[in-house]
């Protein structure tokens, strides 16, 4: 089971031709789901803009998703042509879920929010308010699948000869360092090395 990181960047810029890795059908799903929620806010909105897809925002979302960091990107990384500031929503899941489910999860924070008050119980509502922010005019989203984790139906280790994957770094039948590339279950070389350095020191080469 993989970890899936979903990221959406909202903009105010004019539409550009799409070069996104998200399919055309998914782009429509993302835009339509946002507009569905935006037109159904309570109390109703008098100034809510209709959203459309922006490929430059999607490219920024992909660049940050590729880092596989479950946090918001630096504001400086969210700049697009003629706009120096964009909003952003991030989500992760242990299962491959639909974009509608991701956006629904953000919108569900509405239960903890009240117009004119904000959060009514101290819980996070910023994902919801980003979805329905009145002048968020366009959006671009991307997805990355990475690192195997501790999830149901996933084996906790690889069956085999003790230290079979790490013969150069075996300590009492345990690997003292992670094996070389592709054994960390990463799909991005820079992320692989950064993760290994932080978790277990230099990876075996």
Q: What is the per-residue pLDDT across 143-178, written as a single tens digit (0 to 9) for each?
A: 766 555 555 555 667 788 998 887 887 888 888 765
- pLDDT top residue among 13 and 110: 110
pLDDT score at 57: 78
Q: How far apart are CA 152 and CA 149, in angstroms?
A: 9
Question: Which stretch of 55-69, 89-103, 127-141, 190-204 has the lowest confidence by average pLDDT?
Answer: 190-204
Given pLDDT bands bounded at 50, 70 and 90, which one contains residue 68? Answer: low
Question: Which stretch of 48-57, 77-86, 137-146, 159-168 has the lowest confidence by average pLDDT?
Answer: 77-86
Q: What is the per-residue pLDDT across 131-145, written as a single tens digit (0 to 9) for each?
A: 998 888 888 887 766
Domain boundaries, the chain: 2-148, 170-200
> pTM for the complete prediction?
0.62
Q: What is the per-residue pLDDT across 116-134, written as a single tens digit (0 to 9) for each?
A: 999 999 999 999 999 998 8
pLDDT score at 19: 38
Mean per-residue pLDDT over the chain, rounded: 72
CATH number of 2-148: 3.40.33.10
Residue 74 has pLDDT above 70, yes or no: no
Residue 54 has pLDDT above 70, yes or no: yes
| pLDDT, average across residues 91-101 | 81
């Amino acid at each position: 089971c993989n970890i899936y990181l979903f990221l959406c960047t909202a903009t105010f810029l004019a539409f550009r031709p799409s070069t996104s890795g998200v399919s055309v059908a998914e782009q429509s799903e993302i835009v339509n789901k946002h507009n569905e929620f935006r037109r159904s806010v309570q109390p109703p909105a008098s100034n809510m803009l209709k959203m459309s897809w922006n490929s430059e925002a999607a490219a920024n979302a992909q660049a940050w998703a590729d880092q596989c960091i479950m946090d918001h990107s630096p504001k400086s990384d969210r700049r697009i042509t003629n706009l120096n500031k964009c909003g952003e929503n991030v989500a992760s899941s242990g299962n491959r879920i639909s974009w509608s489910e991701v956006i629904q999860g953000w919108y569900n924070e509405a239960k903890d929010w009240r117009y004119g008050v904000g959060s009514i119980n101290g819980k996070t509502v910023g994902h919801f308010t980003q979805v329905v922010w009145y002048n968020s005019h366009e959006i671009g989203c991307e997805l990355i699948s990475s690192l195997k984790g501790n999830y149901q139906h996933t084996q906790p280790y690889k069956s085999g000869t003790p230290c079979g994957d790490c013969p150069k770094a075996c300590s009492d039948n345990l690997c003292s360092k992670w094996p070389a590339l592709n054994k960390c279950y990463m799909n991005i070389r820079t992320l692989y090395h950064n993760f290994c350095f932080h978790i277990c020191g230099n990876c075996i080469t």
